[in-house]
Structure 1
Amino acid sequence: MAKNPFSESGKPVSKLTAIAGTVVGALVIAAFALQQLGVIDLETDDSATAPQGSSGTASSDVGQAREQMEELRIEAEEDPPGYDRALFPHWDSGVEDNCTTRQVVLLRDGENVETDDDCQPVSGSWYSEFDGETFTEAQDLDIDHMVALKEGWRSGAHAWSTEQRQKFANDLDSSQLWAVSASSNRSKGDSDPADWLPPLESAHCDYVVSWIEVKHVWDLTVDPDEEAALREVLEGC
């Protein structure tokens, strides 16, 4: 059968258009064949369609947080008397070379950080995940305990030994320690996510994923309001 030199609208189809259509069709067929053979991957990038507010949180991290959430103990919060920050010895010295825990976090979380002979940062830049601000002076930053020491106390740490509390306060293995703006850290205080979330909404997913991880690692309890807040944020991640 002869090829129709006209489009459906009745207008002539140029030779160039016809050739282009043929080439595109051939490329599509070839790409499909290569995908089937495992030579190329035509999967779309999930990060391009990540939910707003997820801050690019990896789906695997969110999935793990959801699993860990189901393993947390939900209990009414206690506030046993006797809390004191001194019961959580923090900023151990000699953690890495001659650096304290605080200095290690500043080195880890900063860009182009240079230190003096005592491991104190003298230059560099730090991005505060809580409020989206960037700082060039280390003294403008606090090292936030994701699960604040007093919140830890209320969630079960009151029953720990001083040695356990010291490990919790200097925990570099989980996501317990964050270099953030002093203002955001002090605004947070010892609040849990039912009462405080970072001012930067796009940080909420990372924040609750970290919160859940720390509570899970340290087998700390979650109160009902806290649980509801965590689940609400996770639903949008």
Structure 2
Amino acid sequence: MIVVAFVALAPGGRDESDALTAEGLTSAPRSWTPTPTGPVTPTWRSGESSAAPTWRPSATPTTAAPGSAVSPALATLATLPVKGRAPKTGYDRALFGSAWTDDVTVALGRNGCDTRNDILKRDLIDISLVPATRDCTVRTGTLNDVYTGRTIFFRRGTDTSAAVQIDHVVALSDAWQKGARQLDEQTRRNLANDPRNLQAVDGPTNQGKGDADAATWLPPNRAYQCTYVSRQIEVKAAYGLWVTPEEHDAMTRVLSDC
């Protein structure tokens, strides 16, 4: 495995790399696993406090096993509306709330820590914390990057935090052009901070993605492409977004090869 040291990057002017401060928690690594689509508000297990959402990512930050979740993803893809991309007119990152706000009703929301640090906690290993921050600021950690397959060292700082960025799996401007314009402000805020739609990744790779959809960009790590596309489908279904014909065909090709 290639080990990549952190580098200084200039944050890009795009929604996926806003607010490169490194606030966070600490825990063992986590990864996304598909969940049933439906309401975007969290639910709770019987007998638990309503303050504790049931969302619990799986314990291994690796790619999905061959064939896992592919059939459900294809079935869900078949339910998504297919139509052209609407104009980007009127898009503004601020329409999705302030970057990494904790004031959301999705999993990990209103837990006292900003979303960026919640995702750093979930996706990094060997984390150290900044003292006296209520366990809410990640100082250092290691990312096993699912987009590139590389190992990246993270250190919080003005010149180093951008080495690890939080990607919106479904880019916010892409979402705006495919239905998010019609969502209310709270739902857009949820979309921008939903753990299902967020992944800590290599900074330069995230910058290269921009606001592309699956028709024009996929993670260079081919072993993660099935999971990546499945995540996009889950998010789009949960928030009532559509796909373009080209995007639909690209997603179908990826999932058919899994």
Query: Taking structure 1 as the reference length, what is the TM-score of the superposition?
Result: 0.72
Task: Give the counterpart letter for 2:101 in structure 1.
Answer: D
- Residue from 216, 220, 232 that aligns with 1:195: 216
Residue 168 (1) aligns with residue 191 (2) = yes
Query: 1:58 deviation in Å?
Result: 5.7
- Number of residues of Structure 1 aligned to a counterpart in Structure 2: 182
Task: Give the counterpart letter for 1:151 in structure 2.
Answer: D
Distance 1:189 1:160 in 2: 22
- 8 Å CA contact retained: 2:63, 2:146: no
Distance 2:246 2:178 in 1: 13
Distance 2:231 2:65 in 1: 11
- Residue from 105, 109, 122 that aligns with 1:108: 122
Residue ranges of structure 1 left out of the alignment (5+ in a row): 1-53
- Residue from 145, 163, 178 that aligns with 1:155: 178
Structure with the higher helix share, 1 or 2: 1
Q: Report the counterpart of residue 130 of structure 1 in structure 2.
A: 147
**More displaced stretch, 200-209 vs 225-234:** 200-209
Task: Give the counterpart letter for 1:125 in structure 2.
Answer: T
Matches within 5 A, 1:9-88: 55-57=63-65, 59-88=67-96
Task: Give the counterpart letter for 1:161 in structure 2.
Answer: D
Query: 1:201 deviation in Å?
Result: 1.3
Query: 1:60 deviation in Å?
Result: 4.2
Distance 2:235 2:200 in 1: 16
Query: 1:211 deviation in Å?
Result: 1.0
Task: Give the counterpart letter for 1:108 in structure 2.
Answer: R
Query: 1:70 deviation in Å?
Result: 0.9
Q: Report the counterpart of residue 10 of structure 1 in structure 2.
A: none
- 8 Å CA contact retained: 1:57, 1:206: no
Deviations 1:164-191 (A, max 9, x none): 111110112xx21000011111100100
Distance 1:55 1:82 in 2: 36
Root-mean-square deviation (CA), in Å? 1.8
Largest Rg, 1 or 2? 1
SS at match of 1:73: coil
Query: Taking structure 2 as the reference length, what is the TM-score of the superposition?
Result: 0.67
Distance 1:144 1:72 in 2: 22
SS at match of 2:141: strand
- Comparing both chains, which one has the higher relative contact order based on Cα–Cα distances under 8 Å and sequence gaps of 6 or more? 2
Query: 1:123 deviation in Å?
Result: 2.1
Q: Report the counterpart of residue 13 of structure 1 in structure 2.
A: none
Q: Percent identity?
A: 35
Distance 1:130 1:91 in 2: 21
